[in-house]
Structure 1
């Protein structure tokens, strides 16, 4: 089976180079069946020269795709349209894969006959980050079971392997209405789970994540936590037909969580407790479940204007 590794990117040339070179250094995979697709989601082709340079180092074909329409779903769909692989592995442009990453994903997919395989993400903040460092590294990390196996839930698209034939749309599976707020991968995997898709977890398929500096702050993570909290309510509302009972249930859960965790967060902040950011995060996720519709949606992607 042909395998595509896809890296969507937007104005992160240094991170893109690190991610791509980590793919070139993979071991235990057949390079004759492998290709790399880089999707440049900038209005101008700002990554083109970097990809051309990387192509000269690559031990397998590298394809450059310019998708000027801003939005994470547009970028992923453009990459899917260009990819020739039957299996698609996603790596973000702020991630670095150890040498055995792809082989571990492929082995897990074959072992469990999985439609999607997920792996852990280990965030690392630079030494200059001292305030709330532990919380920030946990926020950008992905943890899961200690053992590999079939799971009944799903994670995000970064560090995952998808079987194209299992997708509801093999060319453009990501919902464009999520272009600017994110969650296009959650929507896809939610639809796949409802359709009986098989998910697996492989702890050996882990990657490093190096968050960009402007995200290593509570200003970003608490807003992002709020948006994550909106997910369950928004997914119920987007169901066909809409799951109004589910929306009401999640909104009620959000009211309780935001009130309870907010009180704890306030006390922790007054006492300067070391875990105060964690409780503020929980309160924000609860509030997101309650305030999930249009005016409260936050744009995180697609800002490509100079």
Structure 2
């Protein structure tokens, strides 16, 4: 299959690839990985780079890389410091049949887009998720590498995927549960905007599928290879989940949800302490305890902690 589109070809399917960026030089590696992916026959690709910095800091890098890609790049400056603004800019700019998202510190495997598209066509899903494989540096703690705490895969509940993520996904733009849907600006600094987006899509009847061969990889820099970073992320995830639970729970039933989440947190914390000599299961349970504690505060309406912006800016 050709990886380069000819000018006189009339493609049957158009796919836009959205890359949201905030002061990361790794963007260049991400874009170059897209240059060598397999393009299915009859498909044309276009890349949308949404620059979320106050100044258009990514524009020179995009212009420098443009000539090395076999398809068009659309650069959009969408300030500032709110990831939901950047994701919505990609949705607004997209003109294809599908929109894929990949993060600006990830690299796509050869069959990434073809695997996502094949699953979308086979299942008729509104969104298709792919796996994200973490790449650890040698300095990362051994328990972290053994337990692979940073890789991302969907979670099945009752045989279905009820939420998703934007670090590796394909959206069918013509779907009635996708068309017009946007990411919540209130979650654009804390994170969790993607969880809310896909949870609400699922509640509206949307179907989410998984393409295990649509692999992207993501390095784990030193700043993230710490228990503290994982704990803050799990806590924020729990807060988002708690707020989403609260949306679908009556005020009278909410105390029951809080008690259940607190009980789960206590159980996991106890299990973590009992497994203290065994680093991988111990930390897995402790992180789950922290996540359920976040659910408690999310159900209670506590302010969600902000993670987006400062962390991204500190990673080269």
Q: TM-score, normalised by structure 2?
A: 0.86
- RMSD over aligned CA atoms reads 2.5
Q: Deviations over 1:140-192 (max 9, x none)?
A: 332668xxxx9442321211100112255635611111111111112121221
1:93 has 2:94 as partner: no
Further displaced range: 163-172 or 62-71: 163-172
Q: Secondary structure at the match of 1:138?
A: coil
Q: Say if 2:141 is the partner of 1:130.
A: yes
Aligned length: 298
**Matching residue within 37, 40, 43 for 1:26:** 37
Counterpart among 2, 17, 38 of residue 5 in structure 1: 17
Structure 2 stretches lacking a partner, 5+ long: 1-12
Q: Distance in 2 between matches of 1:282 and 1:216?
A: 17
Q: Distance in 2 between matches of 1:142 and 1:106?
A: 18
1:142 aligned onto 2:148: no
Q: CA deviation at 1:117?
A: 0.5
Is residue 158 of structure 1 aligned with residue 167 of structure 2?
A: yes
Shift of 1:264: 2.5
**8 Å Cα contact 2:173/2:179 also seen in 1:** yes
Q: Quick check: 21-30 or 46-55, which moved more?
A: 21-30
Aligned to 1:16: 27
The CA distance in 1 between the partners of 2:160 and 2:86, in whole Å, is 28
Cα 1:196/1:17, change in 2 over 3 Å: same
Distance 2:234 2:258 in 1: 16
Structure 2 match to 1:75: 86
Q: 1:120 aligns with which of 124, 131, 135?
A: 131
Name the structure 1 match of 2:266: 259
Work out the CA distance in 1 between the residues paired with 2:264 and 2:179.
Answer: 38
Query: Structure 1 residues 288 and 4, CA, compared in 2 at 3 Å: closer, same or farther?
Result: same
CA deviations over 1:184-211 (Å, ceiling 9, x no partner): 1121212211221122111111111113
| CA–CA separation in structure 2 for the residues paired with 1:136 and 1:74 | 34
1:223 match: 232
Task: Deviation per CA, 1:95-150: give whole Å up to 9, x if none.
Answer: 111111100101111111111001111111111213432367333332668xxxx9
Query: Which one has the bigger helix percentage?
Result: 1
The verdict on how the C-alpha distance between 1:253 and 1:63 changes in structure 2, with shifts beyond 3 A counting, is same
Summarize the Cα distance change of 1:197–1:104 in structure 2 as closer, same or farther, 3 Å threshold. Answer: same
Q: Kindly tell me: are residues 172 and 274 of structure 1, through their superposed partners in 2, closer, same or farther at Cα, counting changes over 3 Å? A: closer
Q: Note if 1:298 corresponds to 2:305.
A: yes
Aligned-pair CA distance for 1:69: 2.3
CA deviation vs aligned residue, 1:249-286 (integer Å, no higher than 9, x gap):
432222112212212223434x3644321121011011
Residue by residue, what CA displacement relative to the aligned partner does 1:221-271 show, whole Å, maximum 9, x if unpaired? 1011111122332013335xx6435643432222112212212223434x3
Alignment of 1:47 onto 2:54: no
Task: State the TM-score, normalizing by the size of structure 1.
Answer: 0.88
* Residues in 2 aligned to 1:200 and 1:161: alpha-carbon distance in whole angstroms: 10
SS of the counterpart of 2:46?
A: strand
Q: Does 1:58 align with 2:69?
A: yes
Tell me whether 1:284 sits opposite 2:290 in the alignment. yes
CA distance in 2, matches of 1:32, 1:152: 27
User: What is the CA–CA distance in structure 1 between the aligned matches of 2:259 and 2:44, rounded to whole Å?
Assistant: 50
